[in-house]
């Protein structure tokens, strides 16, 4: 019992880093164990909280349920095909990755140095995984209502950013023009991989203080990804 209390006390202590992360999440964990677990990569061995894979599994299911319910209520006249398409755009890995990167999850992820965190694909995958894990963690810590609130404010209310057919690059250029900002620059930072499976990384730059990094399998998709992050940030979504 004494050991349990000591461990419970240890888990309840939050570093300044985690407290800042909670502010970004706009959710405060009652049990730090779930927060720690949601940001611990499987490469980390013998961590007291374990890794986030089980939370990721749980979060994925909760996201699907919440988004389905939200779309069903928001679009009462839409048929099954349209609802399915809208749901797919909201729960796909690319969009979840963007949400994770908006929350700056890579700043807090516990991960071994053996994992190449400079690889854009690794960053994209981990960002999506951790977003799902955070949903699972919030559900276990605060219940379905809190998980629903988190998904609603971070995912559902960003629906306008999830459409695959949107021209985010064009939107960003128009936004800069209308707000007297410099025209955005789209600069290729790197590209790697075989010809049939290349990954492109592009910096979207408006000013030295306003930079975003896009990732994609083509130059165009990387530009769109970076522009989407920029629009999301500039609009405060």
Average pLDDT of the residues of the chain: 87
Percent of the chain whose pLDDT exceeds 70: 92
Q: List residues bridging with 203 in a β-sheet.
A: 187, 213
pLDDT at 199 over 80: yes
Question: pLDDT tens digit string along 60-85?
Answer: 999 999 999 999 999 998 889 889 88
Percent of the chain whose pLDDT exceeds 90: 49
Q: Does residue 64 have an active-site annotation? A: no
Domain range for 86: 2-161
Q: Does residue 60 have an active-site annotation? A: yes
Choosing from 126, 145, 161, the residue where a domain stops is 161
Q: What is the mean pLDDT of residues 1-16?
A: 56
Based on the fold, state whether residues 120 and 230 are members of the same structural domain. no
| Residue 125 falls in which region: left (phi positive, over 0), alpha (psi -120 to 50) or beta | alpha
pLDDT (0 to 100) of residue 237: 54
Based on the fold, state whether residues 143 and 178 are members of the same structural domain. no
The helix (run of H) or strand (run of E) holding residue 104 is none
pLDDT at 220 over 50: yes
Encoding tokens for residue 83?
A: 């609802």
- Total count of domains within the chain: 2
Choosing from 144, 161, 178, the residue where a domain stops is 161
Closest by CA to 138, choosing from 237, 1, 32, 15, is: 32
Based on the fold, state whether residues 221 and 153 are members of the same structural domain. no
Closest by CA to 206, choosing from 182, 222, 188, is: 182
Based on the fold, state whether residues 143 and 219 are members of the same structural domain. no
Based on the fold, state whether residues 71 and 149 are members of the same structural domain. yes
pLDDT (0 to 100) of residue 116: 85
Instruction: Name the strands in the sheet holding 210-216, side by side, starting at the edge strand that comes first in the sequence.
Output: 185-192, 199-207, 210-216
Cα separations (Å) of 30 from 21, 33, 34, 109, 206? 14, 9, 9, 19, 40
Based on the fold, state whether residues 126 and 105 are members of the same structural domain. yes
The single residue of 132, 141, 223, 225 carrying the catalytic annotation is: 132
Based on the fold, state whether residues 41 and 138 are members of the same structural domain. yes
Cα separations (Å) of 3 from 32, 51, 61? 17, 22, 34
Angle between helices 80-91 and 93-102 (to 10 degrees): 40
The single residue of 60, 129, 141, 223 carrying the catalytic annotation is: 60
The CATH code of the domain that includes 186 is 3.30.160.20
């Amino acid at each position: 019992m004494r050991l349990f209390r000591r461990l419970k006390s240890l888990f309840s202590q939050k570093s300044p880093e985690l407290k800042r992360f909670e502010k970004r999440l706009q959710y405060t964990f009652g049990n730090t164990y779930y927060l720690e677990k949601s940001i611990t990569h499987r490469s980390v061995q013998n961590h007291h909280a374990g890794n986030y894979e089980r939370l990721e599994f749980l979060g994925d299911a909760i996201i699907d349920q919440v988004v389905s319910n939200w779309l069903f209520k928001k679009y009462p006249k839409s048929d099954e095909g349209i609802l399915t398409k809208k749901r797919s755009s909201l729960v796909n890995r690319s969009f979840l990755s963007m949400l994770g990167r908006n929350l700056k999850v890579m700043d807090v992820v516990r991960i071994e140095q053996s994992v190449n965190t400079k690889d854009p694909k690794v960053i994209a995958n981990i960002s999506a995984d951790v977003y799902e894990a955070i949903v699972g963690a919030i559900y276990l810590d605060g219940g379905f209502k809190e998980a629903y609130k988190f998904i609603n404010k971070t995912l559902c209310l960003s629906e306008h950013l999830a459409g695959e057919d949107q021209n985010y690059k064009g939107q960003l250029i128009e936004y800069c023009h209308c707000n007297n900002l410099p025209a955005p620059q789209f600069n290729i930072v790197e590209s790697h991989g075989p010809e049939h499976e290349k990954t492109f990384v592009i910096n979207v730059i408006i000013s030295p203080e306003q930079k975003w990094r896009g990732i994609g399998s083509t130059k165009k998709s990387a530009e769109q990804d970076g522009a989407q992050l920029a629009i999301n940030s500039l609009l405060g979504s």
